Amino acid sequence: MFKKVMIANRGEIAVRIIKACQEMGIKTVAVYSEVDRHSPHVQIADESINLGDPAPSESYLNIAKIIESARNVSAEAIHPGYGFLAENPDFAKACADSGIKFIGPTPEVIRLMGDKIEAKKTIASAHVPVIPGYPGVKQDLSTLIKEGKKIGFPLLVKATAGGGGKGMRVVHTEAELEQSIESAKRESKSAFGNDSVFLEQYIDKPRHIEFQILADEHGHVIHLFERECSIQRRHQKIIEETPSPVITPKLREVMGKAAVAAAEAVGYTNAGTIEFMVDSKQNFYFMEMNTRLQVEHPITEATTGVDLVKWQLRIASGMELTIEQTSLFQRGHALECRIYAEDPSNGFLPSIGTLEKVELPIGPNIRNDTGVETQFHVSSYYDPMLAKLTVNSENREESINKMIWALSHYVVLGVTTNISFLKKVLEHPEFRKGNITTHFINDYFKDWLVTKEGLPLDAIIALAVYDSLHPQRQEIVRYKEADPHSPWQHVGRWRMGR
């Protein structure tokens, strides 16, 4: 096993990996940019290295700086987490060239799976179904438009190097096609440094269901069942669960086998995820493979009892997988919510500010993965995800109730978060019934506004009590100056001129 591992990431995932290393007696090295100097992941690591400039390209995406730092501290391996360099084959290659073990698959496999077109071809050759589309052999606008019309509408424009909804556009009409292709190309260029896109038929009422894979370097591949990630806003997952409410034992077996076959077809090693789209008739199609640890991995850990990060470390150090497929079971049900610093009443725009108070819910089978704490400053440099909340119970209904309880006790003050929105989604009767698709948010929450009902009475009472207990100095005026007959006094709530 490794003696020292560098974690080339930040936030909750860096914290989660560092803790796994510490449990295994592995020394950890954190990296950080100037604005993350006091972040929890830096505090808990054994060593930390300042990468300087907070711009991602100068810090968490700077391959040369990270490799040099790892060599300076004699780290034997680097765990990339997710995002940043996790799916960058050049980084995996640079690690190998410097004699540092990259905790993930080989650079060749990352490159192959990162090229969505080649990935689809390779996976299809392993007899796994794929979605019809244009692979984007030619990238000029006129060819893409022509091919787009051939596929028909609605269709998807996707970044070849993409993931996480970035560089992706749904096109409903021919008129939107050109603008969507251009915009997807720009976003992809800025997020991934590559503006190639491909086109794909848009599947109606699709569910996003993915399978977790573990593969060692000795040819053993297992799957750890599915995760349903259909609840997405702007193609970004926000609520994930396992088991999926629609997967039958039969379909689970078939899809699990397909996932293993896909991983075997590319010679996959370490932890990975095969994403499928499942339509209303339970047909499933390969979408893409994520060659890294997923954000939503805790729900798999909660239901299988397997620690995926520890297995990543063991596999990377050359150990054999000792878990047999037949010994794995899904126990109960788990749900995860992603807590974002974003403002649901303002188009879900990222909310920036200093966290004045963070108090996490604690209770049986409640897991908090977080990389922030009180006084942490949420900046615009990085992804606005603050934390993940995972719960597990005997069944889906209990998980939902537990999650609603936990969210109701989740205190993050200083920025606005999506917590109230998450609660509304969980309380929705169709969600409770398990009738979900990737369009769920669009179908039921398109015009949802947190502020429709205004400030609740309880908030007004709490504010009044608080302000009465904490009068500000300048407010201490003599009583006679205050006008108890002011017309403002009893008019209640009113709306400002619009």
For residue 223, give the amino acid letter: H
Distances (CA, A) of 152 to 118, 149, 199, 200: 22, 5, 10, 9
Which residue lies nearer to other proteins by CB, 137 or 462?
A: 462
Q: Which is nearer to other proteins, 306 or 450 (CB)?
A: 450
Tokens 């179908």 appear where? 443
Closest CA to 246 of 205, 198, 278, 285: 278
SS3 358: strand
- Is residue 154 part of the contact set for other proteins (CB under 8 A)? no
Could you give the residue numbers annotated as active site? Answer: 292
CB closer to other proteins, 64 vs 477: 477
Report DSSP letters for 141-157, one per residue.
HHHHHHHHHHH-SSEEE
What one-letter code names the amino acid at 96?
A
**Using the rule CB under 8 A, is 478 a contact of other proteins?**
yes
Contacting other proteins (CB under 8 A), which of 43, 141, 357, 443? 357
Q: Is 364 in the site for other proteins (CB under 8 A)?
A: no
- Name which of 84 and 134 has its Cβ closer to other proteins: 84
- Other CB atoms within a 10 A radius of the CB of residue 445 amount to 15
Sole binder of other proteins in the list 135, 267, 332, 350 (CB under 8 A) = 350
481 binds other proteins (CB under 8 A): yes
Contacts of 36 (CB under 8 A, 6+ apart): 10, 42, 54
Count, residues near other proteins per rule CB under 8 A? 79
User: 9 or 28, CB closer to other proteins?
Assistant: 9
Stretch 440-469 residues interacting with other proteins (CB under 8 A)? 450-451, 454-469
Residue closest to 275 by CA, chosen among 257, 259, 264 = 259
Residue 373 Cβ vs other proteins, minimum distance, rounded to whole Å: 14
Question: Residue 157 CB, nearest distance to other proteins (Å)?
Answer: 13
Gap between the Cα atoms of 476 and 221, Å rounded: 71
Q: How far is the CB of 47 from other proteins (least distance, A)?
A: 29
Q: Binding to other proteins (CB under 8 A): which residues in 405-434?
A: 407-414, 416-417, 419-420, 423
Residue given tokens 């349903």 in the structure block = 228
Residues within window 186-215 making contact with other proteins, judged by CB under 8 A: 186-187, 190-191
- In terms of C-beta distances under 8 Å and separation of at least 24 residues, what long-range contacts does 485-494 make, across chains too? 493/454, 493/455
Q: Which of residues 157-186 bind other proteins (CB under 8 A)?
A: 166, 179, 183, 186
Estimate to the nearest angstrom the gap between the alpha carbon of 395 and the chain centroid.
24
Binding of other proteins by 349 (CB under 8 A): yes
Q: Of residues 221-250, which lie at the interface with other proteins (CB under 8 A)?
A: 234
